[in-house]
Amino acid sequence: MTLLADDQSVAQRIFDHIDNRTTDRSDASWREPVKHYRCEQRFAAELELVLRRYPTPFCPSAALREAGSYVARDAAGTPILAVRGVDGRVRAFRNACRHRGAQLADGSGCQKAFVCRYHGWTYGLDGRLRHVPHEDGFPGLDKTARGLAPVETTEMRGLVFITQDEPYLIEPCLAELPELIAPSQQLFTTTEQETPANWKIVVEGFLEGYHIRSTHRETFYPIQFDNLNVVETFGRNSRVAFPYQRINKLRAIPPAERRVDGMLTYVYHLFPNVMVATFPNNIAMVVLEPLAIDRTRILTYTLTDRSDHDGDGMEAVNRSRDFLLAGAAEDRAVAIAVQRGLQSGANQFFEFGQFEGAISHFHRALDAALGGTP
C-alpha cells in the first residue's frame, strides 16, 4: 500500500484544476526567518542533527551495477564510499584509510579491491583490511579490527540510502514509497555543479509551480501550466505533480486506463536534500550537498530505460536532457538571486504562500527535526 494517490486520481485532480482554473493549496502560508539561511549554528545543526542521522539517498542503485562498482563522494561533509560486494549487497563506508586516513577512491568506477595510494593498505569490497605491506612493522596489529568504518546502508526502490551517525532516526514512510527508479533504468550521465546559494534555497526551487511562467517563460511554460500542481506529502517528504498540456489527451481514455507517464513530471522530495524527478525520456536524481552556508554542490544522476542501440530513442533522450538543463540553469540563476537578496537585509522572513505548500511542509519538518535550534 502506498501513501500516494494513484495515476487515475492524480489525473482527475489535474483535470478539475484545469477546468476550474485552480491548483492545490495548503491551509496556510508559512514565514521562514531569513536568519535560518544565514546562521552558521543552524547550518551546523542541519548537518549534524538531520542530514547525518536520517536515511538520505546517496546514489541510484543503477550507479552500482555490478560487484566492485563504487561511488565515492562527500555526503553532509563526510567522505563516503559506497560499493557493491560480490554477494550483491551494497555497503557504504567512511572513505578514510584505517592507517592514516587517506581516501581510498574518488568519483566512480569498478574495482576488485581498494588499495590506498599512500602506503598500499588494501581493503576488500566488504571493507575488510586484507593486506598491509611490511606488516611486521605494526606489532600486534589486529587486521580484523581495522576494516573500513561502515555506515548504515539500505537499498530500496532503486536508491541507496545511508545513515551516518547514531542514533539512527528511521523514516518509516520510505518503506511505503513506490518503485522510484525501476531496474530497467540505466545511468547515462552524472553532472556536478557548485552554486553560490544555501542548499534550502535550491530545494525550494523544485517544490512549486508558481514560478513556471515567470522563470521558465521560453522553456517549461510553453508545454506546461503556470501554477497548476497536485501536492502530496508523506512523512517529511512530498510529491509535486507538474502536468504537461498534453495530459488533456487522457480525457478521451476511460479513467481506469489512464497512465500519466509522459503526461506530467513528478518531483519526489526525499527529505531533506534529494529530489527524484520523472520526465518523458529519463529520470533525474538530484542531490544537493551543502558545502557551506552559501554554497551547494548540485549532483545530478540522469537515467534512462532507452538503449543506446536505439538511435532515435537516444536522440530524444539527449534532446530532453538538454531541455531540462536549460530549465535547470534558469532555476540556478534565481537561487543565486535569492541568496544575494537574503544578504541584502531587505527581508526578515520569506513568506511561502498557499501555492508553495510543499516548501512549508519542508520547513515545518526541518524545524521539528532540529528540535528548537535557533
Give the nearest distance from C-beta 134 to ligand FES in angstroms. Answer: 11
Judged by beta carbon, residue 130 or residue 297, the one nearer ligand FES is: 130
| Strand spans (E) along the chain | 30-33, 56-60, 69-75, 78-84, 90-94, 107-110, 114-115, 122-123, 129-131, 150-156, 159-163, 186-195, 230-234, 237-243, 264-270, 274-278, 283-292, 295-304, 349-352
Closest approach, Cβ 195 to Fe ion, in A, equals 13
The answer to the question of residue 121 lying near ligand FES (CB under 6 A) is: yes
Give which of ligand FES, Fe ion, none residue 331 binds (C-beta under 5 to 8 Å, depending on kind). Fe ion
Our CB check for Fe ion shows the closer of 186 and 215 to be 215
Q: Which does 340 bind (CB under 5 to 8 A by kind): ligand FES, Fe ion, none?
A: none
Binding status of residue 116 toward ligand FES by CB under 6 A: yes
First to last CA, the chain: 38
Question: How many CB atoms lie under 10 A from the CB of residue 322?
Answer: 9
Please confirm whether the linkage preceding 290 is cis (ω < 30° from 0): no
**In terms of C-beta distances under 8 Å and separation of at least 24 residues, what long-range contacts does 250-259 make, across chains too?**
250/11, 251/15, 255/8, 255/11, 255/12, 256/8, 258/7, 258/8, 258/11, 259/7
Cβ closest to ligand FES, residue 133 vs residue 374: 133
> Of ligand FES, Fe ion, none, which one does residue 118 interact with (CB within 5 to 8 Å by kind)?
ligand FES
- Residue 30 Rama label (left phi>0; alpha psi -120 to 50; beta): beta
**Smaller CB separation from ligand FES, 123 or 268:** 123
92 within 8 A of 150, measured Cβ to Cβ: yes
Nearer to Fe ion, 247 or 334 (CB): 334
User: Which among Fe ion, ligand FES, none contacts residue 38 (Cβ within 5 to 8 A by kind)?
Assistant: none
Under the binding rule (CB under 6 A), the answer on residue 97 touching ligand FES is yes
CB closest to Fe ion, residue no: 331
Phi/psi for 291 (5° steps) reads -100, -35
Cα torsion at 72, 297, 201, 27 (round to 10°)? -20
Among 89, 112, 119, 131, binds ligand FES (CB under 6 A): 119
Instruction: Restricting to residues 158-177, name those near ligand FES by CB under 6 A.
Output: none
- Omega prior to 167 cis, within 30 of 0: yes
Minimal distance in Å, beta carbon 355 to Fe ion? Answer: 13
The binder of ligand FES chosen from 38, 99, 128, 146 (CB under 6 A):
99
Smallest separation, CB 160 to ligand FES (Å): 25
CA atoms lying within 13 Å on the CB side of residue 220: 29
Residues contributing to the site for Fe ion (CB under 5 A): 331
User: Quick one: 31 or 117, whose CB is closer to ligand FES?
Assistant: 117
Closest contact distance (angstroms) between CB of 59 and ligand FES is 24
| Nearest-approach distance from CB 208 to Fe ion, in angstroms | 8
Stretch near ligand FES under the rule CB under 6 A, chosen from 13-21, 115-123, 188-196, 266-274: 115-123
Among 28, 44, 102, 182, binds ligand FES (CB under 6 A): 102
Tell me the chain's radius of gyration from C-alpha atoms: 22
User: Rounded to whole angstroms, what are the CA distances from 156 to 175, 178, 181?
Assistant: 8, 10, 10
Whichever of 99 and 213 has its CB closer to ligand FES, that residue is 99
Q: Which residue, chain included where needed, has cell 563504487?
A: 70
Contact positions toward ligand FES, by CB under 6 A? 97, 99-102, 116, 118-121
